[in-house]
Amino acid sequence: MTTKFFREEVEAAVDALLLQQVILYPTDTVWGLGCDAEVPEAVKKIYELKNRPAEKAAIVLVADEQMFARYAAAVPANLPELLAAQQRPTTYVVPAGHRVAPNLLAPDGTVGLRIVQNDEFCQKVLRRLGHGLVSTSANLSGEPSPAIYAEVNPQIVRGVDYVVRWRQEDTTRAQPSRVVRLLPDGGLEILRD
């Protein structure tokens, strides 16, 4: 794969996102469905495509601590230490700020945010877009999460506006992220390990 192909796929994904469309893309964990985290109509389309209950929250990928702060009501003081210590991709559930699409929130007003640390494609897309990127596994509700592109249900492929071609041949298997709730005292409650 060439650098030119990589750049073209980043640009194509960002173009679709700027048009408030839904993309199918490789994340730092599994293959995901994504849209701009500030566009409720696009979020709704993802939920309809997955046949996912509206009360189930979705994760938002962010590029860095500054973008994390854009979507969190408050940034925990110990976030840098938590990020430095994490062993694998980790989603932090925090009270949501006002910029998150309301239909991304859990019933308790929280949102799951994950800083993408080790995925160049997602990092480039996030930086070019300048907004958080919805990340929910690219499966129909109740089906297993697709670790590789070949496992994505054809119904999902047909239902999105753009399918990213980057890493479609990659057979490296990853797990969904660890999910933790950040507690007011700076501690963690593990929701999914």
Sequence-distant (6+) residues with CB within 8 A of 66 are none
Choose among 118, 100, 120: nearest CA to 110: 100
pLDDT of amino acid 1: 53
Quote the CA–CA distance of 12 and 110 in Å, as a whole number. 31
Q: What is the pLDDT of residue 56?
A: 86
d(CA 44, CA 51): 10
Cβ count within 10 A of residue 116: 23
- Please state the φ and ψ torsions of residue 180, each to the nearest 5 degrees: -130, 145
pLDDT in tens, the chain (193 residues): 579 999 999 999 999 999 999 999 999 999 999 999 999 999 999 999 999 988 888 999 999 999 999 999 988 889 999 999 998 999 999 999 999 999 999 999 999 999 999 899 999 999 999 999 999 999 999 999 999 999 999 999 999 999 999 999 999 988 889 999 998 888 899 999 8
What backbone phi and psi angles, to 5 degrees, belong to 114? -130, 120
Model pTM?
Answer: 0.95
Domains with residue ranges and CATH for the chain? 3-192 (3.90.870.10)
Helices (H) and strands (E) in the chain, counts: 6, 9
Q: How far apart are CA 70 and CA 98, in angstroms?
A: 9
DSSP letters spanning 141-156: TTSPP-SSGGGS-HHH
Q: CA–CA separation, 96 vs 93, rounded Å?
A: 9
What are the pLDDT digits (tens) for 48-96?
999 998 888 899 999 999 999 999 998 888 999 999 999 899 999 999 9
Cα–Cα distance, 188 to 123 (Å, whole number): 25
From 11, 35, 15, 9, select the one nearest 135 (Cα to Cα).
35
- Report d(CA 91, CA 176) in Å as an integer: 10
First to last CA, the chain: 33
